[in-house]
Amino acid sequence: MAFQPNTSPSFPLLGLLSILLLLLSSSATTAAGIHLSFIRKPAPDVPVFREAPAFRNGETCGSDLIHVSMTLDANYLRGTMAAVLSILQHSTCPENVMFHFLCSRFEPEIHATIKSTFPYLNFRVYRFNANRVRGKISKSIRQALDQPLNYARIYLADIMPVEVKRVIYLDSDIVMVDDITKLWGVDLGDKVLAAPEYCHANFTRYFTDAFWSDAILSSTFQGREPCYFNTGVMVVDVDKWRQGGYTQKVEDWMVVQKQKRIYHLGSLPPFLLVLAGNIKDIDHRWNQHGLGGDNIEGKCRSLHPGPISLLHWSGKGKPWLRYFTDAFWSDAILSSTFQGREPCYFNTGVMVVDVDKWRQGGYTQKVEDWMVVQKQKRIYHLGSLPPFLLVLAGNIKDIDHRWNQHGLGGDNIEGKCRSLHPGPISLLHWSGKGKPWLRLDSRKPCTVDHLWAPYDLYRSSKHTFDE
């Protein structure tokens, strides 16, 4: 039985609650200053992951295998390990689950880590030749989406052994809280692929004006009722995929994208172009996606209402990465930092500070202590923000969001344009890489930059307000 709010307790519910409790307990400290003398690096021979228990959940299990495919990458290894554990824990017959891992290069350390963490796991590792897609990948809105391994799902039918007739493809940022046997047993009918459809989504936004303004391209969905689906959870009939030549069909759209930019995201849009409106729709409970937030900021999102069988942190934010590194979350002492608090992100570009309380509480020293830890053991990526979060997150006075309409400078990598958030505004903040005076002077302004221009007093500026 899957987890469903307001139902009687069940094994999957307990499993989900245990996961949530682990997340809370592993994200936890007191507001007091840290003691540097207690911070120790683990011994070199200590594995990064502890050994997972062997699950024997069903009384009788046959010999039929459930084939699950996932990508294997050092950057997402922590997510993969959590996903595998969740699948095994909630499966009636975990010994019948066969994992097929796709990697861009064989790394003995990762292979050894899987074996030491899951000694009883049935798995094989396949090398995905990145050269198959290198000339076909177009730059998208997020660098992680441009990695060749993100496109490996297109080639599942070419990689899987011929005896594998069906496979469940899963992203590495999922947690299963139901029996995967139920997903495996989905009736595909005459369809090549099954996934939850989201017909309320604004389908047009996945493609550019160059697509919709082209009479031939925009007729692609004629005769179909296309709906968005997320390719991070799919049940694929591998034989039908091969027979229908779907790999070539997806690749053809990737070639069009290189010639004429028709979409923004990575490997998802060509799947939609080929298959949207022609897949087997399954219950939304099998992909509670979007928990990683949007593709730019990765802001927190709440669970959607209804029963849940699979949690999916699609989007920029990953639960093991938000603001802090693996070195932080894998350290038992450091990762207990937020214990007893409900930490929330806040932006330090706009703050009202009681200076007396700051002095009395020794907050300068507390922030500096974390900066020393950062020098010893890289625990975050950004500059001065994370030590403020470590000391004060969950222990500040929250004020109306109107007082910091931040992020107008875009992300910290490319500084792409962003729109204003809905609601009243009292202060505009161009945090991020892009600054309005630079974009205006380069004649490549974002729309929001024109809100800054009337206040520009620079003598040589061409963007001045009327006298």
Number of structural domains, the chain? 1
Q: Kindly list the averaged pLDDT for each block of 10 residues, start to end, along the chain of length 467.
A: 42 43 38 35 49 86 94 86 93 96 90 93 93 69 63 92 96 91 96 93 83 91 89 95 95 88 83 92 88 59 78 73 70 77 83 95 95 90 88 90 88 70 88 87 89 83 43
Residue 322 lies in a domain: no
Full domain range(s) for residue 167: 43-287
Residue 317 lies in a domain: no
What's the pLDDT score for residue 119? 95
Residue 343, domain member (yes or no): no
- Read off the amino acid at residue 165: K
Q: Is residue 386 part of a domain?
A: no
Partner residues linked to 195 by β-bridges:
281
CA dist 249 and 296 (Å) reads 29
195 falls within a domain: yes
Q: What is the DSSP string of 81-150?
A: HHHHHHHHHH-S-GGGEEEEEEESS--HHHHHHHHHH-TT-EEEEEE--GGGTTTT----SSGGGGSGGG
Residue among 335, 334, 320 at smallest CA distance from 75: 320
Does residue 371 belong to any structural domain of this protein? no
Q: Is residue 211 part of a domain?
A: yes
- CB-CB contact of 284 with 200 (8 Å): no
- 111 in a structural domain: yes
* pLDDT reported for residue 20: 44
pLDDT of residue 187: 96
The CATH number of residue 126's host domain is 3.90.550.10
Angle at 69 between CA 65 and CA 74, to 5 degrees: 135
Alpha helix locations (H) across 160-300? 180-184, 209-212, 238-243, 246-259, 268-275
